[in-house]
Amino acid sequence: MDALAIKESYMKFIEKNTQIPKTKGQKTEVVTPFINSTGESISFEVRADGKKYIITDNGYTYWDMNLQDINLNKKNKRRELLDSKINYYGFSINKENEIYKITITNELGQAIHDMTQLLLSIYDLTYLSQKNVYQQFFDDVKDYFNTNNQKYIFLPEFNLAGKSHLNHKFNYAFHSNGKTKLVKVFRTINKSQVESILASWLDTVEVRKSNYNDNEELRIIISEDGFNNLSDDYKLALENYNIKVVNFNDKKTIENEFAA
């Protein structure tokens, strides 16, 4: 897995899809380099609307999830997770179940990046079984660190700008043993997520060297099931850039990695 090629490909994808005519009603389909849980390319639409742009999935994501017997029509844990992901990335969902955001020319690249990351995150819901929906892995991680906040020094929801001027989101930034350890949390890791992680990390190399003396490290916290089933190829691709995957259930390693 060529991480530099992945990063360059992703940045070219962003650049290419921000060149959209401003004619009102003009629209274009944005096909991302990533696939969803059914093996189809993740895509969405950008429409010109005067001086602004509307980024929308036209309700496809919601429809596709229901087609996979994932009921989002009622207030349940999956729907709560969906709404929280949409809010986290600054998008909205309307009565027609269309995920959308209105943006301006200077922020179009960032909005395309955010929509791509949002849809990747949403499709992770398809991997949740009825049993572990209620385990809420992300909440377990959050509750653990909040409960043990005397042991850990951290900032939640940390953003870091890259060379591309895109903002990359990290779930946590820990101060541990004189270093800053940025953290992304996943229940499991698939190929698209590995590529997204590498693209984000490499995009921030120069900024980290300039502003932080390159004193950051990236850690991926995943569930025990995700850790045990992690592909050796994915693990090696991440380790080549000093990105370590940590099993959340291994609290000794969690403490060694993140305690102040």
**3-state SS record for 28-47:** EEEEEEEECCCCCEEEEEEE
Looking at residues 122-148, what average pLDDT do you find? 73
Q: Are residues 12 and 128 in the same domain?
A: yes
Share of the chain above pLDDT 70, in %: 88
Of 101, 116, 133, the residue that ends a domain is 133
Reduce the DSSP state of residue 76 to 3 states and report it.
coil
Res 1 pLDDT > 60: no
pTM of the model: 0.66
Contacts with 72 (C-beta within 8 Å, 6 or more apart), sequence order: 62, 65, 66, 78, 79, 82, 97
CATH number at residue 33: 3.30.1460
- Average pLDDT, rounded, for the chain: 85
Last residue of a domain, one of 105, 133, 161: 133
Domain span at residue 240 reads 137-258
| 68 and 82 fall within a common domain | yes
Confidence of residue 29 (pLDDT cuts 50, 70, 90): confident
Q: How confident is the model at residue 22 (pLDDT cuts 50, 70, 90)?
A: low
If one compares 150 and 215, the residue with the highest pLDDT of the two is 150
Q: Please compute the mean of the pLDDT values over residues 88-113 and round it to a whole number.
A: 92
Tens of pLDDT, residue by residue over 176-201, are: 988 899 999 998 888 888 988 998 89
Domain boundary among 87, 113, 133: 133
